[in-house]
C-alpha cells in the first residue's frame, strides 16, 4: 500500500498554506503488510483512497459473482446427470426429492415441538 497524497502536485495543499494537517482531505493511517513486518505510515488523500477502495471492492465483487455463476452452472450439470442416471435406473428422481423434503420438514417440526415443550418445562420450573 502506497501513500496517495502528493504534496507537490496538490493545488489545495498550496492554497491551505503548505501544511498537510490543514487539508480536510488529508489522513494518516498505519498499515501492516503482514504479521511479521513493521507498520508503515500511509499518508492519503481521502478522495483518492476512497476511489481505490471502491475499485478493489468492485474487482472482488466481480470475482465472487464469477465464482457463483460457475457453481450454479456446475449445480445445473449435476442435476442433469442425476436425472439421466435416475431415468436409466428406473428411479423417479422428482418423487424421491419431494419425499426427502417432506421427511426433512417432518424432522424440523418434531424439533420445533420438542423445543417448545422444553421451553414450557423450563418456564414452569422457574415459576415454581
User: What is the arithmetic mean of pLDDT over 113-120?
Assistant: 75
Contact by Cβ (8 Å): 42, 3 = yes
Using CB atoms within 10 A of its CB, is residue 45 exposed (0-12), middle (13-18) or buried (19+)?
buried
Q: What is the pLDDT of residues 59-110, one digit of tens each?
A: 999 999 999 999 988 888 888 888 888 788 887 777 888 888 999 999 888 8
Residue 57: half-sphere exposure toward Cβ, Cα within 13 Å: 6
Rg (CA), the chain: 30
pTM as predicted: 0.48
Amino acid at each position: 500500500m502506497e501513500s496517495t497524497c502528493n504534496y507537490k502536485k496538490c493545488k489545495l495543499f498550496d492554497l491551505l498554506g503548505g501544511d498537510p494537517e490543514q487539508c480536510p482531505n488529508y489522513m494518516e493511517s498505519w498499515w501492516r503488510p503482514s504479521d511479521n513486518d513493521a507498520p508503515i505510515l500511509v499518508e492519503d488523500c481521502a478522495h483518492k483512497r476512497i476511489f481505490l477502495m471502491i475499485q478493489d471492492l468492485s474487482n472482488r465483487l466481480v470475482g465472487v459473482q464469477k465464482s457463483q455463476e460457475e457453481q450454479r452452472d456446475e449445480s445445473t450439470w449435476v442435476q442433469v446427470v442425476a436425472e439421466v442416471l435416475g431415468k436409466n435406473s428406473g428411479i423417479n428422481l422428482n418423487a424421491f426429492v419431494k419425499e426427502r423434503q417432506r421427511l426433512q420438514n417432518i424432522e424440523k417440526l418434531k424439533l420445533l415441538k420438542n423445543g417448545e415443550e422444553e421451553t414450557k418445562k423450563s418456564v414452569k420450573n422457574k415459576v415454581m
